[in-house]
Amino acid sequence: MTTDTKKITLDINGIKEYLPHRYPLLLVDRVLDVELGKRITAIKNVTVNEEFFNGHFPHKPVMPGVLMIEALAQTAAILSFMTMNVKPDENSVVYFVGIDNARFKRPVEPGDQLVMEVEILRQARGIWKYKATASVDGKVAVEGDLMCTIRGAAEATMKGAAPADGSTEG
């Protein structure tokens, strides 16, 4: 009996097929491993050239926590789309439904490699719940439970849903 143990990986071009995000908000650089329907491991290479370091903070550059959570959410979205065997179109939007138990344990600085691990806890009625952890050099930087839903842009606008960034623009 043979089992297929082929490792699923994605480079940046493969990632762009599963995420609508683009510079400067595409926060996943490589997918290292995927177990469809279960888990994903991806990385974000943090460099001093990132726009947010100009203001956060000029004297001590630190990656904003909300961007670490966003990077985890993007990783989760890749896992969900791959699990559904669907590539999003230009109208697909992934919205946060909730973020629970978020804890920030260490700063992330230029030169760090953020290793993101996301596990699907459950999926029901269009809501996905994940356990997400990002670490640097084996030390947890941020962890939390994320809940997201995937919608078409027109559908979300008609129902009055707000984008995950909290803006009120439709």
Q: Name the residues annotated as catalytic.
A: 56
| 8 A C-beta contact, residue 33 and residue 106 | no
The residue among 35, 40, 57 whose CA lies nearest residue 48 is 57
Rounded Cα distance, 145 and 6, in Å: 29
Strands of 51-163, DSSP E: 92-104, 113-124, 127-136, 139-152
Rounded Cα distance, 42 and 78, in Å: 10
Rounded Cα distance, 116 and 77, in Å: 13
| 8 A C-beta contact, residue 149 and residue 128 | yes
Rounded Cα distance, 58 and 78, in Å: 32
